[in-house]
């Protein structure tokens, strides 16, 4: 990869796809020389106009596999580009960390957007850890914003920490689910109800009245559950129905996203982003420390023996922890 940052910046400012693509590859790289160039790039991006004007509408979209995320993003993204927006689609997929492959943000799952000149789709980076993926995604978002993308959709799955991580980098967090009522509602993690700003019950196809009814009933129940979890908050997350496949209700979901944004207001949005920056700073530090701990030669040297001793009950956890930390400090 040629690392002419000035040239990349010029290309990004001109909105050139090739430059955007190369810049994102750069920010995804974990090689030290690339990290240095990526930093230079980000500083350069800050001075480009688009970021200063407030950046893009940043929306996280989450839901379990099969709920219809990619179909929904395809429908929503196409509508937005038809309305004159430029739409970036990024993905945070913790499973890609393990498999090295990516399911989310796969272009073949969004065939229409993939060939749309006003859309840019990027699959999840496989940067080793969720923290690494988050770092790359936040930087990719900055690249897209500087290139004039005014809407960025960040797709993620309902697995582990990834939803919380994505909620921490977007303005509005949209949770997609499908009709579940009664006991099945328990299957939805309470945590997601705490962070969702808008909820859509998907697959409410208008040509399938039974299914649509079921979706409406599920939406009502969810709204009730939300009132219990979020009762005292100013923003009561709306629960709507949609059908990504037919496009029905997709506009309605977007209206709620914009309503949430309006509710935040300019000051609220600025505060939210500032707080996110601070939280993200510490998340990056923690992630980096964990990496260093993992790679510390002195820790490695004692790790296996200590593991055996703790398992055998010969060394208490507190003592083992102290030894690991002492080994780590000795490495410095």
Residues that bind ligand GDP (CB under 6 A): 63, 65-71, 109, 202-203, 205, 243-245
For ligand GDP, which is the closer residue by CB, 71 or 124?
71
For ligand GDP, which is the closer residue by CB, 105 or 238?
105
- SS3 call for 188: coil
Q: How are strands ordered across the β-sheet holding 172-178?
A: 119-121, 87-92, 151-157, 57-63, 172-178, 198-202, 239-241
Residue 99 beta carbon to ligand GDP: minimum distance, rounded to whole angstroms: 15
For ligand GDP, which is the closer residue by CB, 72 or 120?
72
d(CA 146, CA 123): 19
Residue 126 beta carbon to ligand GDP: minimum distance, rounded to whole angstroms: 18
Residue 157 beta carbon to ligand GDP: minimum distance, rounded to whole angstroms: 8
Residue 62 beta carbon to ligand GDP: minimum distance, rounded to whole angstroms: 9
Q: Evaluate whether 106 touches 82 at the Cβ level (below 8 Å).
A: no
For ligand GDP, which is the closer residue by CB, 178 or 222?
178
Helices 250-295, 130-146: crossing angle, 10 deg rounding: 130
Residue 163 beta carbon to ligand GDP: minimum distance, rounded to whole angstroms: 13
Strands (E), 87-232: 87-92, 119-121, 151-157, 172-178, 198-202
For ligand GDP, which is the closer residue by CB, 93 or 150?
93
Residue 260 beta carbon to ligand GDP: minimum distance, rounded to whole angstroms: 21
Of all residues in this chain, which one has the CB nearest to ligand GDP in the complex? 68
**Which residue is associated with the tokens 């309305």?**
83
Cα-Cα-Cα-Cα dihedral sign, residues 32, 105, 188, 98: negative
d(CA 181, CA 68): 18
- SS3 call for 234: coil
Residue 244 beta carbon to ligand GDP: minimum distance, rounded to whole angstroms: 4
Q: 199: which strand partners?
A: 175, 239
| Helix intervals (H) in 147-249 | 162-167, 190-195, 209-230
Query: Could you give the C-alpha distances from 37 to 9, 142, 177, 268, in angstroms and in order?
Result: 12, 15, 40, 33
For ligand GDP, which is the closer residue by CB, 106 or 288?
106
For ligand GDP, which is the closer residue by CB, 77 or 131?
77
């Amino acid at each position: 990869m040629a690392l002419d940052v000035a040239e990349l910046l010029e290309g990004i400012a001109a909105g050139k796809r090739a430059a955007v693509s190369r810049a994102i590859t750069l920010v995804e790289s974990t090689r030290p020389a690339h990290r240095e160039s990526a930093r230079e790039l980000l500083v350069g991006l800050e001075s480009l106009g688009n970021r200063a004007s407030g950046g893009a509408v940043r929306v996280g979209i989450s839901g379990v596999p099969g709920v219809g995320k990619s179909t929904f993003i395809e429908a929503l993204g196409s509508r937005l580009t038809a309305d004159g927006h430029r739409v970036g689609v990024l993905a945070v997929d913790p499973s890609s960390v393990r498999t090295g492959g990516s399911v989310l943000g796969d272009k073949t799952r969004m065939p229409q957007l993939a060939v749309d000149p006003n859309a840019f789709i990027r699959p999840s980076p496989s940067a080793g850890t969720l923290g690494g993926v988050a770092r790359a995604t936040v930087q990719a978002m900055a690249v897209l914003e500087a290139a004039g993308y005014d809407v960025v959709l960040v797709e993620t799955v309902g697995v582990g920490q990834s939803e919380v991580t994505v909620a921490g980098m977007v303005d509005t967090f949209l949770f997609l689910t499908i009709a579940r009522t009664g006991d099945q509602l328990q299957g939805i993690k309470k945590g997601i109800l705490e962070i969702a700003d808008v909820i859509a019950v998907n697959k409410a196809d208008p040509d399938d009245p039974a299914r649509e009814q079921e979706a409406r009933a599920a939406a009502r129940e969810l709204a009730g559950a939300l009132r219990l979890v979020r009762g005292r908050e100013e923003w009561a997350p709306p629960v709507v129905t949609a059908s990504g496949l037919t496009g029905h209700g997709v506009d309605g979901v977007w209206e709620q996203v914009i309503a949430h944004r309006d509710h935040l207001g300019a000051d609220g949005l600025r505060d939210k982003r500032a707080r996110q920056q601070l939280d993200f700073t510490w998340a990056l530090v923690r992630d980096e420390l964990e990496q260093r701990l993992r790679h510390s030669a002195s820790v490695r040297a004692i790790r296996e023996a200590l593991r055996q001793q703790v398992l055998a009950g010969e060394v208490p956890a507190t003592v083992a922890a102290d030894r690991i930390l002492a080994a780590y400090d000795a490495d410095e």
